[in-house]
Structure 1
């Protein structure tokens, strides 16, 4: 594709994302799947244009309102280029000058860009939530969580995330996986916190490389790996991954169990569970089965107090993953948060029934917001006095020790994660 063609494709994709409540990555996958003429390099360039706008969306909207212009996909992309240093006439020249280019800028669009030409993306008059690219109602929650680190953590949440891999110890050691990746032209480095983690710089298509196809590595953020580590699933145990989705943490748990014992991946979505089948086979996992949780299902009742470990990786706002999903913070509402916290409490109440005396319940989210994390644990313990917190320590740096695991992008270089493990004492 020509640069002009990529620009037009980015405008079309951004317009679809702005009009759709679904996650941007799902929308982008559908968009690109129906345009097979777009090659891999073009896809990366189009994605970079769109994701750069999403990371700066509130500031761009503020600027366009300030100059009296509508925040259309065309102007969002054009204004970002102007506000990050490209002269307005040069930006205007990208429109309508060659085949497949977007139509020429209209007079009003040109005037808006001309008014932005002497400015940069940030401005002293911006409201704090706009400058930090956060929803207004979320900012107090982030301040409660991060205190004087608010600015640095919000800045980290606006940056692109690295690509983390988890070595599958069922098939290779970390050194063997490093060597296999190097042979495939992928230079990785061991992660700082996870004993199984590897990190690749930039965006690389690891899924076509032999180490991934052969099941030596899985894509998994280092923070997510630490949640699996915290679960402490051992060979011979009976383990339930209660909100398994497509099985990312199921794979890690099966690995720590050395394929011995029994792990059940549960979810309310049949398509998500079906998506785990290929991953389990590729990883060489033999001790896992799937169970679909349906309305009226008696499975939980029949399995009461039979599990050594129950992991609840609860549905959440994903506020800790906003560097990967910058569109999610733009679509999140207070109603969404209220509905999610009610759902999390209900899931915890159901999942705790599976934990046997002396067994452990691990609650985790990829959020950094207290209502989804500490507040959930406090409420759960008030409802279930036979559970007590088991402090975090195993295999983690001293600064992460405490009653609960709290990870953040700026401090830890991971996605934002929360986890708490509790033991049934009665």
Structure 2
């Protein structure tokens, strides 16, 4: 199984982390489906489908289009592969440059994320139709075939002949007659053989799951070893589903029920989260960060699983709390809201521009109890005295494998050895910050990954080395994306004893 999105080093910095703020596992049909749960032109609501520049609040373009939706998608896919850049950032930049209307911006988003999500599977089948193999094609030709295959096999409402014609026109625009002829021949051959696009029946469990749900083999094998074949299949399937939009009520300003009433009255479909006490699931709201309710600080955009961190911390009014790796500030704000804005919260981050995001969040929400500090969390003992905090939150840097739905390129850019490197950082952070907690105080360790070594294994090693700490609950909270259609998360609550 060839993967052209080769693995690369994690470039997020030593103490930063990925942020977000149901059928059974029986053997699936090995024929690749020809329709998608989301229609072409309708973006995943929680993926960035528009940029603020050149786009008004309704999502409509305010400039003349530079090119088509598929041409914009092609540019993003080529640059993502060549530059090893994050697709969400490139997508926003490209949408701003192309000035697409709301529908075309949605189609571009769908094509980009869908192609990256299904990359392994797309390459596996496309290689049957490219005589010299995809790897020997120019990057833009390879990406053009990939995005065209994705549309034909996974999107409805777009006729195959229209997909082929658009691809041929793009090939003519960017290449020469020979390339456009090859593109035309490959795609028409795919159309003729759609019903034969089935996986072999004798694949190993690792290869079958990796190809059916398009994940790298090392990741699938690792998960099978940890949680078994059935749960791994559910996990990989869930990772290809679009994330829903969830918001967190600012209970300093109104109740969850009042916010639900306000949203529904305004035409936004809103229902209470069954997982998080302050959470709301919304549909048909567009980009909720561009609404007046967001600007007024009535809510924050945060995944349901992430909301459970502050709930597990259980902060009390008047306490002094430390949030060690706080940016962009969603959990910090949730803690302050739960304290009724009474007390003192220190939110720290190693990057100055990210510390600014925390301050902006607090200001938007009207939270005056939040104080910020630019510092590597490992250096916090230089800034605070031992035993000076009632509660500490370490939302640790991690591999981020619980948020693949939101960042599908992570599947192809992540290396297995990255997981070992981040474990060392987690150990150093825990060893550095634990003296700052009062006796009897609460320490929360959380991640947005599913890895045992980064989660329960990391906590157990810390407890073995620090007998003055103990579990403060029977077992940690572990959430998998297939359980609640929320992000994968781990939350451990520890207590410092005398």
Q: Deviations over 1:161-191 (max 9, x none)?
A: 0000000101110011112223443121101
Q: Which has the higher contact order (CA 8 A, sep 6+)?
A: 2
Residues 1:82 and 2:134 aligned together: no
CA distance in 1, matches of 2:234, 2:355: 37
State how many pairs are aligned.
Answer: 415
Asked whether the equivalents of residues 269 and 285 of structure 2 are also in contact (C-alpha less than 8 Å), the reply is no
Residues 1:354 and 2:447 aligned together: no
Asked whether the equivalents of residues 315 and 344 of structure 1 are also in contact (C-alpha less than 8 Å), the reply is yes
Moved more, 413-422 or 123-132: 123-132
Residues 1:26 and 2:98 aligned together: no
1:119 is matched with: 194
CA distance in 2, matches of 1:70, 1:203: 40
Find 1:269's aligned residue among 347, 351, 355. 351
CA distance in 2, matches of 1:202, 1:372: 36
Residues 1:70 and 2:134 aligned together: yes
Question: Any idea what SS the aligned residue of 1:235 has?
Answer: coil
Asked whether the equivalents of residues 377 and 433 of structure 2 are also in contact (C-alpha less than 8 Å), the reply is no
Residues 1:177 and 2:177 aligned together: no
2:364 is matched with: 282
Find 2:480's aligned residue among 386, 399, 408. 408
Residues 1:59 and 2:59 aligned together: no
Residues 1:140 and 2:253 aligned together: no
Asked whether the equivalents of residues 165 and 199 of structure 1 are also in contact (C-alpha less than 8 Å), the reply is yes
Identify if the C-alpha distance between structure 1 residues 323 and 3 changes in structure 2 by more than 3 Å, giving closer, same or farther. farther
Question: Any idea what SS the aligned residue of 1:280 has?
Answer: helix
Q: Deviations over 1:27-56 (max 9, x none)?
A: 2223334x1623444322211110111110
CA distance in 1, matches of 2:478, 2:376: 32
Q: State the shift of 1:96 in Å.
A: 4.9
Asked whether the equivalents of residues 7 and 101 of structure 1 are also in contact (C-alpha less than 8 Å), the reply is no
CA distance in 1, matches of 2:377, 2:453: 27
1:43 is matched with: 105
Q: Which runs of 5+ in 1 are unaligned?
A: 392-401
Moved more, 82-91 or 211-220: 82-91
1:16 is matched with: 79
TM, length-normalised to structure 2: 0.78
Moved more, 364-373 or 120-129: 120-129
Q: State the shift of 1:145 in Å.
A: 4.2
Cα root mean square deviation, aligned? 2.6
Identify if the C-alpha distance between structure 1 residues 203 and 182 changes in structure 2 by more than 3 Å, giving closer, same or farther. closer
TM, length-normalised to structure 1: 0.90
Question: Any idea what SS the aligned residue of 1:22 has?
Answer: coil
Q: State the shift of 1:15 in Å.
A: 1.0
Alignment of 1:225-240 (within 5 A): 225-240=307-322
1:218 is matched with: 300
Alignment of 1:154-173 (within 5 A): 154-173=236-255
Alignment of 1:90-129 (within 5 A): 90-97=162-169, 106-117=180-191, 118-119=193-194, 123-124=199-200, 127-128=207-208, 129=210
Identify if the C-alpha distance between structure 1 residues 233 and 138 changes in structure 2 by more than 3 Å, giving closer, same or farther. same
2:36 is matched with: none
Moved more, 140-149 or 118-127: 118-127
CA distance in 2, matches of 1:108, 1:349: 59
Identify if the C-alpha distance between structure 1 residues 413 and 291 changes in structure 2 by more than 3 Å, giving closer, same or farther. same
Q: Deviations over 1:58-88 (max 9, x none)?
A: 1112122333342621011011123337775
Q: Which runs of 5+ in 2 are unaligned?
A: 1-63, 136-141
CA distance in 2, matches of 1:373, 1:92: 47
Moved more, 237-246 or 42-51: 42-51
Asked whether the equivalents of residues 118 and 213 of structure 2 are also in contact (C-alpha less than 8 Å), the reply is no
Moved more, 20-29 or 156-165: 20-29
Question: Any idea what SS the aligned residue of 1:164 has?
Answer: strand
Question: Any idea what SS the aligned residue of 1:94 has?
Answer: helix
Moved more, 115-124 or 266-275: 115-124
Question: Any idea what SS the aligned residue of 1:159 has?
Answer: coil
